[in-house]
Structure 1
Amino acid sequence: MPKIDIAQAPTRFGSAYPPPFDAPCAGRKRWKLGDAAGLTQFGVNLQRLGPGVWSSQRHWHTAEDEFVWVVSGEVVLVTDESEQVLRAGDCAGFPAGAPNGHHLQNRSDAEAVLLEVGSRREAEDGCDYPDIDMVAHPGSDRYHRRNGTPYE
Protein backbone atom coordinates (compact mmCIF):
# COMPACT_ATOMS: atom_id res chain seq x y z
CA MET A 1 0.00 0.00 0.00
CA PRO A 2 1.40 3.42 -0.90
CA LYS A 3 -0.04 5.12 2.22
CA ILE A 4 2.61 5.31 4.92
CA ASP A 5 1.72 4.55 8.53
CA ILE A 6 3.99 7.12 10.20
CA ALA A 7 3.77 5.31 13.52
CA GLN A 8 5.29 2.21 11.86
CA ALA A 9 8.01 4.06 9.90
CA PRO A 10 11.64 3.44 10.91
CA THR A 11 12.83 6.00 13.45
CA ARG A 12 15.99 7.57 14.75
CA PHE A 13 15.72 9.40 18.01
CA GLY A 14 18.72 11.45 19.12
CA SER A 15 21.84 11.33 16.96
CA ALA A 16 24.79 9.07 16.19
CA TYR A 17 27.29 11.85 16.91
CA PRO A 18 30.02 11.06 19.43
CA PRO A 19 29.90 12.82 22.80
CA PRO A 20 29.79 15.72 23.47
CA PHE A 21 28.50 16.59 19.98
CA ASP A 22 25.39 14.45 20.45
CA ALA A 23 23.99 16.51 23.37
CA PRO A 24 22.24 19.36 21.46
CA CYS A 25 20.49 16.77 19.25
CA ALA A 26 19.56 14.28 21.98
CA GLY A 27 15.88 15.27 21.84
CA ARG A 28 15.62 15.07 18.06
CA LYS A 29 12.97 12.68 16.71
CA ARG A 30 13.05 11.55 13.09
CA TRP A 31 10.71 9.24 11.18
CA LYS A 32 12.22 7.86 7.94
CA LEU A 33 9.25 8.15 5.61
CA GLY A 34 11.29 7.51 2.47
CA ASP A 35 12.52 4.23 3.92
CA ALA A 36 8.96 3.27 4.88
CA ALA A 37 7.90 3.85 1.25
CA GLY A 38 10.87 1.92 -0.17
CA LEU A 39 12.32 5.00 -1.91
CA THR A 40 15.89 4.58 -3.14
CA GLN A 41 16.70 7.79 -5.05
CA PHE A 42 15.92 10.32 -2.33
CA GLY A 43 15.16 10.30 1.38
CA VAL A 44 12.25 11.94 3.17
CA ASN A 45 12.15 12.42 6.92
CA LEU A 46 9.60 13.85 9.31
CA GLN A 47 11.54 15.53 12.09
CA ARG A 48 10.28 16.87 15.42
CA LEU A 49 12.42 19.25 17.46
CA GLY A 50 11.37 20.07 20.98
CA PRO A 51 12.30 23.39 22.60
CA GLY A 52 16.08 23.81 22.73
CA VAL A 53 16.80 20.90 20.36
CA TRP A 54 19.03 21.14 17.26
CA SER A 55 18.44 19.30 13.99
CA SER A 56 22.16 18.46 13.73
CA GLN A 57 25.57 19.93 14.27
CA ARG A 58 26.26 22.64 11.69
CA HIS A 59 27.40 20.77 8.55
CA TRP A 60 27.54 20.63 4.75
CA HIS A 61 27.56 17.68 2.35
CA THR A 62 29.94 17.05 -0.55
CA ALA A 63 27.53 14.97 -2.69
CA GLU A 64 24.02 15.23 -1.22
CA ASP A 65 21.46 17.97 -1.77
CA GLU A 66 19.25 18.83 1.21
CA PHE A 67 15.87 20.55 1.47
CA VAL A 68 13.80 21.35 4.55
CA TRP A 69 10.24 22.64 4.90
CA VAL A 70 8.78 23.82 8.21
CA VAL A 71 5.41 22.13 8.73
CA SER A 72 4.66 23.78 12.07
CA GLY A 73 6.41 25.80 14.73
CA GLU A 74 9.50 27.94 14.38
CA VAL A 75 13.23 27.26 14.05
CA VAL A 76 16.35 29.34 13.53
CA LEU A 77 18.42 28.46 10.46
CA VAL A 78 22.09 29.03 11.27
CA THR A 79 24.47 29.28 8.30
CA ASP A 80 27.92 30.71 7.65
CA GLU A 81 26.34 34.00 6.63
CA SER A 82 23.59 34.59 9.18
CA GLU A 83 20.71 33.39 11.27
CA GLN A 84 17.18 33.41 9.88
CA VAL A 85 13.88 32.53 11.53
CA LEU A 86 11.86 29.94 9.59
CA ARG A 87 8.17 29.49 10.41
CA ALA A 88 5.46 27.15 9.17
CA GLY A 89 5.42 27.25 5.36
CA ASP A 90 9.04 28.45 5.05
CA CYS A 91 11.67 26.29 3.39
CA ALA A 92 15.40 26.24 2.66
CA GLY A 93 17.72 24.23 0.41
CA PHE A 94 21.38 23.34 0.50
CA PRO A 95 23.12 22.22 -2.72
CA ALA A 96 25.71 19.47 -2.59
CA GLY A 97 29.29 20.68 -2.50
CA ALA A 98 28.48 24.22 -1.29
CA PRO A 99 30.67 24.69 1.81
CA ASN A 100 28.03 26.54 3.84
CA GLY A 101 27.61 24.91 7.23
CA HIS A 102 23.97 24.91 8.32
CA HIS A 103 21.59 23.53 10.91
CA LEU A 104 18.30 24.34 12.60
CA GLN A 105 17.80 25.23 16.24
CA ASN A 106 14.46 25.32 18.02
CA ARG A 107 14.79 28.36 20.27
CA SER A 108 11.04 28.60 20.86
CA ASP A 109 8.86 27.22 23.66
CA ALA A 110 6.94 24.87 21.35
CA GLU A 111 7.75 21.81 19.26
CA ALA A 112 8.73 22.38 15.62
CA VAL A 113 7.85 19.87 12.89
CA LEU A 114 9.96 19.69 9.72
CA LEU A 115 9.95 17.73 6.49
CA GLU A 116 13.45 16.92 5.20
CA VAL A 117 14.29 15.73 1.71
CA GLY A 118 17.75 14.70 0.55
CA SER A 119 19.52 12.71 -2.12
CA ARG A 120 20.71 9.23 -1.23
CA ARG A 121 24.37 9.35 -2.15
CA GLU A 122 25.86 8.06 1.11
CA ALA A 123 28.53 5.96 -0.61
CA GLU A 124 30.09 9.01 -2.26
CA ASP A 125 29.06 11.71 0.21
CA GLY A 126 31.33 13.30 2.75
CA CYS A 127 30.24 15.71 5.44
CA ASP A 128 32.13 18.55 7.10
CA TYR A 129 31.26 20.06 10.49
CA PRO A 130 32.95 23.49 10.44
CA ASP A 131 32.35 24.42 14.11
CA ILE A 132 33.83 21.26 15.61
CA ASP A 133 36.68 18.80 15.03
CA MET A 134 34.60 16.32 13.05
CA VAL A 135 34.18 15.03 9.50
CA ALA A 136 32.40 12.07 7.92
CA HIS A 137 34.19 10.37 5.04
CA PRO A 138 32.37 8.91 2.02
CA GLY A 139 31.17 5.37 2.63
CA SER A 140 32.15 5.37 6.30
CA ASP A 141 29.71 4.82 9.13
CA ARG A 142 32.06 6.50 11.64
CA TYR A 143 32.92 10.09 12.45
CA HIS A 144 36.56 11.19 12.40
CA ARG A 145 38.64 14.04 13.73
CA ARG A 146 40.20 16.29 11.13
CA ASN A 147 43.56 14.55 11.70
CA GLY A 148 41.96 11.27 10.56
CA THR A 149 41.57 9.50 13.89
CA PRO A 150 38.11 8.00 14.38
CA TYR A 151 35.84 8.80 17.29
CA GLU A 152 34.96 5.80 19.45
Structure 2
Amino acid sequence: MEGALERSLRVFSGRGVLRTEYWDATIERFHLVSVPPDTAYQIGYTGTEPLWIGAWSSVGGDEITDESTLEPAARPEGNAEFDRIMATRSDRDLATSPGYDGEYDADPDEDRPEPVVTSFANTAAKLCPKAPEVGCNADRLAWIAELPELEWFSDSTVMKLDPGMYASTHTHFENEGPHEEIYWVMAGKARLITEYRDARLRRFDCAFFPTGNPHGIGNVGTETLWIGAWGARGGIEGDFDIANLDVADRPGQIEEYERVMAARKQRGLPLPPNADILDP
Protein backbone atom coordinates (compact mmCIF):
# COMPACT_ATOMS: atom_id res chain seq x y z
CA MET A 1 0.00 0.00 0.00
CA GLU A 2 2.77 2.45 0.93
CA GLY A 3 5.44 0.95 -1.26
CA ALA A 4 8.61 -0.78 -0.07
CA LEU A 5 10.04 1.89 2.23
CA GLU A 6 13.30 1.29 4.08
CA ARG A 7 14.58 3.50 6.87
CA SER A 8 17.95 3.93 8.58
CA LEU A 9 18.15 5.87 11.84
CA ARG A 10 21.16 7.12 13.81
CA VAL A 11 20.88 8.46 17.36
CA PHE A 12 22.65 11.81 17.54
CA SER A 13 22.31 12.31 21.29
CA GLY A 14 20.16 11.28 24.24
CA ARG A 15 18.70 7.98 25.32
CA GLY A 16 15.52 6.22 24.28
CA VAL A 17 13.77 2.91 23.74
CA LEU A 18 12.99 1.10 20.50
CA ARG A 19 9.74 -0.83 20.82
CA THR A 20 8.74 -3.59 18.41
CA GLU A 21 6.09 -6.29 18.47
CA TYR A 22 8.82 -8.74 19.53
CA TRP A 23 11.03 -6.92 22.04
CA ASP A 24 12.17 -3.58 23.48
CA ALA A 25 15.74 -2.28 23.22
CA THR A 26 17.57 0.69 24.69
CA ILE A 27 19.05 3.05 22.11
CA GLU A 28 21.58 5.78 22.86
CA ARG A 29 24.14 8.03 21.24
CA PHE A 30 25.46 6.75 17.87
CA HIS A 31 23.28 3.62 17.92
CA LEU A 32 22.12 2.65 14.42
CA VAL A 33 18.65 1.26 13.70
CA SER A 34 17.87 -0.44 10.38
CA VAL A 35 14.18 -0.73 9.50
CA PRO A 36 13.24 -3.01 6.56
CA PRO A 37 9.92 -2.52 4.75
CA ASP A 38 6.75 -3.62 6.64
CA THR A 39 8.55 -3.41 10.00
CA ALA A 40 6.56 -2.26 13.02
CA TYR A 41 8.47 -0.07 15.48
CA GLN A 42 8.10 2.85 17.86
CA ILE A 43 10.70 5.10 19.49
CA GLY A 44 10.25 6.50 22.98
CA TYR A 45 12.23 8.93 25.11
CA THR A 46 13.65 7.56 28.36
CA GLY A 47 16.61 9.82 29.20
CA THR A 48 17.16 13.12 30.95
CA GLU A 49 18.55 14.97 27.91
CA PRO A 50 16.76 15.59 24.60
CA LEU A 51 16.70 12.61 22.25
CA TRP A 52 17.82 13.58 18.73
CA ILE A 53 17.66 11.06 15.89
CA GLY A 54 18.59 11.45 12.24
CA ALA A 55 16.57 9.30 9.82
CA TRP A 56 16.94 8.67 6.11
CA SER A 57 14.26 6.83 4.15
CA SER A 58 14.36 5.18 0.73
CA VAL A 59 11.77 3.70 -1.60
CA GLY A 60 14.42 2.22 -3.88
CA GLY A 61 14.02 4.59 -6.77
CA ASP A 62 10.22 4.32 -6.80
CA GLU A 63 7.91 7.27 -6.21
CA ILE A 64 6.93 7.74 -2.58
CA THR A 65 3.21 7.14 -2.11
CA ASP A 66 0.75 9.62 -0.61
CA GLU A 67 0.07 7.13 2.20
CA SER A 68 3.71 7.23 3.28
CA THR A 69 3.50 10.97 3.89
CA LEU A 70 0.56 10.68 6.32
CA GLU A 71 0.76 10.35 10.09
CA PRO A 72 0.43 6.68 11.12
CA ALA A 73 -3.09 7.13 12.52
CA ALA A 74 -4.23 8.72 9.25
CA ARG A 75 -2.94 5.94 7.01
CA PRO A 76 -5.36 3.31 5.72
CA GLU A 77 -5.51 0.42 8.22
CA GLY A 78 -3.17 2.33 10.55
CA ASN A 79 -5.41 1.88 13.59
CA ALA A 80 -5.94 -1.81 12.83
CA GLU A 81 -2.16 -2.31 12.60
CA PHE A 82 -1.70 -0.56 15.96
CA ASP A 83 -4.23 -2.93 17.57
CA ARG A 84 -2.47 -5.94 16.02
CA ILE A 85 0.94 -4.85 17.32
CA MET A 86 -0.41 -4.19 20.79
CA ALA A 87 -2.11 -7.61 20.84
CA THR A 88 1.18 -9.22 19.83
CA ARG A 89 3.04 -7.34 22.56
CA SER A 90 0.38 -8.34 25.09
CA ASP A 91 0.79 -12.01 24.12
CA ARG A 92 4.52 -11.63 24.78
CA ASP A 93 3.98 -9.88 28.13
CA LEU A 94 5.33 -6.59 26.79
CA ALA A 95 3.85 -3.27 27.85
CA THR A 96 1.08 -1.87 25.65
CA SER A 97 0.46 1.76 24.79
CA PRO A 98 -2.35 4.03 25.97
CA GLY A 99 -5.23 3.79 23.52
CA TYR A 100 -5.19 0.02 23.16
CA ASP A 101 -8.44 -1.41 24.55
CA GLY A 102 -7.28 -5.02 24.68
CA GLU A 103 -9.61 -6.21 21.93
CA TYR A 104 -8.29 -7.86 18.76
CA ASP A 105 -10.21 -10.66 17.07
CA ALA A 106 -7.76 -11.87 14.41
CA ASP A 107 -4.43 -13.70 14.82
CA PRO A 108 -1.94 -10.93 15.73
CA ASP A 109 1.21 -12.89 14.88
CA GLU A 110 1.79 -12.11 11.20
CA ASP A 111 5.55 -12.67 11.37
CA ARG A 112 6.61 -9.19 10.25
CA PRO A 113 10.33 -8.35 9.88
CA GLU A 114 12.24 -6.93 12.83
CA PRO A 115 14.47 -3.84 13.06
CA VAL A 116 18.20 -4.38 13.53
CA VAL A 117 20.03 -2.40 16.20
CA THR A 118 23.79 -1.84 15.88
CA SER A 119 25.44 -0.31 18.91
CA PHE A 120 28.38 2.02 18.52
CA ALA A 121 30.44 -0.06 20.96
CA ASN A 122 30.09 -3.11 18.72
CA THR A 123 31.22 -1.28 15.57
CA ALA A 124 34.95 -1.61 14.91
CA ALA A 125 36.79 1.65 14.27
CA LYS A 126 38.66 1.95 10.98
CA LEU A 127 41.81 4.06 10.90
CA CYS A 128 41.82 6.29 7.83
CA PRO A 129 45.48 7.23 7.31
CA LYS A 130 46.77 10.64 6.35
CA ALA A 131 46.61 10.96 2.57
CA PRO A 132 47.71 14.38 1.28
CA GLU A 133 47.28 13.15 -2.30
CA VAL A 134 43.49 13.30 -1.72
CA GLY A 135 43.38 16.11 0.87
CA CYS A 136 43.33 14.11 4.12
CA ASN A 137 45.73 15.99 6.42
CA ALA A 138 45.81 13.64 9.45
CA ASP A 139 45.00 10.13 10.62
CA ARG A 140 41.37 9.89 11.67
CA LEU A 141 38.81 7.32 12.81
CA ALA A 142 35.61 6.16 11.15
CA TRP A 143 33.13 3.60 12.44
CA ILE A 144 31.60 1.87 9.41
CA ALA A 145 28.52 -0.31 9.81
CA GLU A 146 27.33 -2.28 6.78
CA LEU A 147 23.59 -2.88 6.43
CA PRO A 148 23.02 -6.32 4.86
CA GLU A 149 19.45 -6.41 6.17
CA LEU A 150 18.51 -3.49 3.89
CA GLU A 151 18.36 -3.64 0.11
CA TRP A 152 19.09 -0.02 -0.85
CA PHE A 153 21.10 1.38 2.05
CA SER A 154 24.58 -0.13 2.00
CA ASP A 155 26.36 1.40 4.98
CA SER A 156 26.27 4.03 7.72
CA THR A 157 29.39 5.64 9.14
CA VAL A 158 30.27 7.80 12.13
CA MET A 159 33.28 10.00 11.37
CA LYS A 160 35.37 11.74 14.03
CA LEU A 161 37.47 14.77 13.09
CA ASP A 162 39.51 16.76 15.60
CA PRO A 163 39.92 20.54 15.16
CA GLY A 164 41.83 21.36 11.97
CA MET A 165 41.40 17.86 10.58
CA TYR A 166 40.18 17.27 7.02
CA ALA A 167 38.78 14.06 5.54
CA SER A 168 39.62 13.09 1.97
CA THR A 169 38.04 14.95 -0.90
CA HIS A 170 36.61 12.19 -3.08
CA THR A 171 33.92 11.13 -5.51
CA HIS A 172 31.76 8.01 -5.54
CA PHE A 173 31.81 6.82 -9.13
CA GLU A 174 29.57 4.26 -10.81
CA ASN A 175 32.17 1.60 -9.99
CA GLU A 176 31.10 1.86 -6.33
CA GLY A 177 27.51 0.91 -6.90
CA PRO A 178 26.45 3.60 -7.98
CA HIS A 179 26.77 5.25 -4.59
CA GLU A 180 24.70 8.12 -3.18
CA GLU A 181 25.73 9.60 0.16
CA ILE A 182 24.45 11.97 2.80
CA TYR A 183 26.40 13.71 5.60
CA TRP A 184 24.66 14.88 8.75
CA VAL A 185 26.50 16.94 11.38
CA MET A 186 25.87 15.45 14.82
CA ALA A 187 28.17 17.80 16.75
CA GLY A 188 30.71 20.50 15.92
CA LYS A 189 31.35 22.91 13.04
CA ALA A 190 32.33 21.79 9.57
CA ARG A 191 33.53 23.16 6.27
CA LEU A 192 32.12 21.30 3.29
CA ILE A 193 34.38 21.32 0.23
CA THR A 194 33.15 20.94 -3.36
CA GLU A 195 34.59 21.91 -6.72
CA TYR A 196 32.07 24.75 -6.99
CA ARG A 197 31.93 26.35 -3.54
CA ASP A 198 32.46 25.83 0.19
CA ALA A 199 29.70 25.72 2.80
CA ARG A 200 29.59 25.97 6.58
CA LEU A 201 27.75 23.16 8.35
CA ARG A 202 26.68 23.15 11.99
CA ARG A 203 24.81 20.70 14.19
CA PHE A 204 21.86 19.07 12.37
CA ASP A 205 22.87 20.53 8.97
CA CYS A 206 23.02 17.88 6.26
CA ALA A 207 24.37 17.57 2.72
CA PHE A 208 23.43 15.13 -0.04
CA PHE A 209 25.86 13.90 -2.68
CA PRO A 210 24.58 12.12 -5.80
CA THR A 211 26.80 9.66 -7.62
CA GLY A 212 29.69 11.44 -9.34
CA ASN A 213 29.62 14.49 -7.03
CA PRO A 214 33.02 15.29 -5.40
CA HIS A 215 33.01 16.31 -1.74
CA GLY A 216 35.24 16.65 1.29
CA ILE A 217 34.79 17.93 4.82
CA GLY A 218 36.92 19.48 7.57
CA ASN A 219 36.62 20.58 11.19
CA VAL A 220 36.77 24.38 11.45
CA GLY A 221 35.59 24.53 15.07
CA THR A 222 37.32 24.16 18.41
CA GLU A 223 35.54 20.94 19.44
CA THR A 224 35.39 17.43 17.99
CA LEU A 225 33.37 17.19 14.79
CA TRP A 226 31.08 14.15 14.60
CA ILE A 227 29.52 13.36 11.23
CA GLY A 228 26.92 10.72 10.49
CA ALA A 229 27.07 9.42 6.91
CA TRP A 230 24.80 7.09 4.98
CA GLY A 231 25.54 5.35 1.71
CA ALA A 232 22.97 3.95 -0.72
CA ARG A 233 23.70 1.87 -3.81
CA GLY A 234 20.17 0.94 -4.81
CA GLY A 235 20.82 -2.76 -4.27
CA ILE A 236 23.66 -2.74 -6.84
CA GLU A 237 27.02 -4.19 -5.85
CA GLY A 238 30.17 -2.17 -6.53
CA ASP A 239 33.40 -3.38 -8.06
CA PHE A 240 35.05 -3.31 -4.63
CA ASP A 241 34.17 -2.95 -0.94
CA ILE A 242 34.71 0.70 -0.04
CA ALA A 243 34.82 -0.16 3.67
CA ASN A 244 38.04 -2.11 3.12
CA LEU A 245 39.74 0.22 0.66
CA ASP A 246 41.16 3.63 1.61
CA VAL A 247 40.06 6.54 -0.56
CA ALA A 248 43.53 7.09 -2.03
CA ASP A 249 43.57 3.44 -3.16
CA ARG A 250 40.23 3.56 -4.98
CA PRO A 251 40.51 3.68 -8.78
CA GLY A 252 40.61 7.20 -10.17
CA GLN A 253 40.48 9.09 -6.85
CA ILE A 254 43.92 10.74 -6.99
CA GLU A 255 43.27 11.96 -10.54
CA GLU A 256 39.81 13.14 -9.45
CA TYR A 257 41.28 15.07 -6.51
CA GLU A 258 43.74 16.82 -8.81
CA ARG A 259 40.90 17.71 -11.20
CA VAL A 260 38.76 19.12 -8.35
CA MET A 261 41.66 21.19 -7.00
CA ALA A 262 42.32 22.58 -10.49
CA ALA A 263 38.62 23.49 -10.78
CA ARG A 264 38.73 25.20 -7.37
CA LYS A 265 41.86 27.14 -8.30
CA GLN A 266 40.23 28.29 -11.52
CA ARG A 267 37.26 29.56 -9.49
CA GLY A 268 39.49 31.35 -6.97
CA LEU A 269 38.72 28.94 -4.12
CA PRO A 270 41.40 28.05 -1.52
CA LEU A 271 43.15 24.72 -1.77
CA PRO A 272 42.55 22.44 1.26
CA PRO A 273 43.65 21.10 3.61
CA ASN A 274 44.25 24.48 5.23
CA ALA A 275 42.18 24.86 8.38
CA ASP A 276 43.31 28.40 9.23
CA ILE A 277 41.75 30.02 6.15
CA LEU A 278 38.45 30.28 8.00
CA ASP A 279 37.86 31.48 11.53
CA PRO A 280 36.31 28.80 13.79
Task: Give the TM-score taking structure 1 as reference length.
Answer: 0.69
Per the alignment, residue 62 of structure 1 pairs with 173
How many residues are treated as equivalent by the alignment? Answer: 127
Per the alignment, residue 10 of structure 1 pairs with 124
Per the alignment, residue 188 of structure 2 pairs with 73
**Range moving further from structure 2, 83-92 or 101-110:** 101-110
The yes-or-no answer on 1:116 pairing with 2:232 is no
**Range moving further from structure 2, 39-48 or 62-71:** 39-48
List per-residue Cα deviations over 1:1-39 (Å, max 9, x = no partner). 83322122122122385x76585141x21111336x765
Match of 2:216 among 81, 97, 103: 103
Higher strand share: 1
The yes-or-no answer on 1:128 pairing with 2:243 is no
List per-residue Cα deviations over 1:94-136 (Å, max 9, x = no partner). 1113xx4210011221101111111354317955343338xxx
Q: 1:88 to 1:127 in 2, by over 3 A?
A: farther
Q: 1:101 to 1:25 in 2, by over 3 A?
A: farther
Match of 2:202 among 81, 87, 93: 87
Q: 1:71 to 1:51 in 2, by over 3 A?
A: same
Q: Secondary structure at the match of 1:131?
A: helix
Per the alignment, residue 52 of structure 1 pairs with 164
What's the CA shift for 1:49?
0.8
What's the CA shift for 1:59?
1.6
Q: 1:69 to 1:127 in 2, by over 3 A?
A: farther
The gaps in structure 2 that reach 5 residues or longer are 1-24, 26-115, 241-249, 260-280
Quick one: distance in 2 between partners of 1:86 and 1:92?
A: 9
Structure 1 stretches of at least 4 aligned residues deviating more than 4 Å after TM superposition:
19-23, 37-41, 124-127
The gaps in structure 1 that reach 5 residues or longer are 134-152
Of the two structures, which has the highest relative contact order with CA contacts closer than 8 Å and spacing of 6 or more? 1
Could you tell me the percent identity over the aligned residues? 24
Q: Secondary structure at the match of 1:3?
A: strand
Q: 1:23 to 1:45 in 2, by over 3 A?
A: closer
Q: Secondary structure at the match of 2:118?
A: coil
List per-residue Cα deviations over 1:38-62 (Å, max 9, x = no partner). 6564110111111111122x22121
The answer as to whether partners of 1:61 and 1:126 remain within 8 angstroms in 2 is no
Letter of the 1:115 counterpart: G
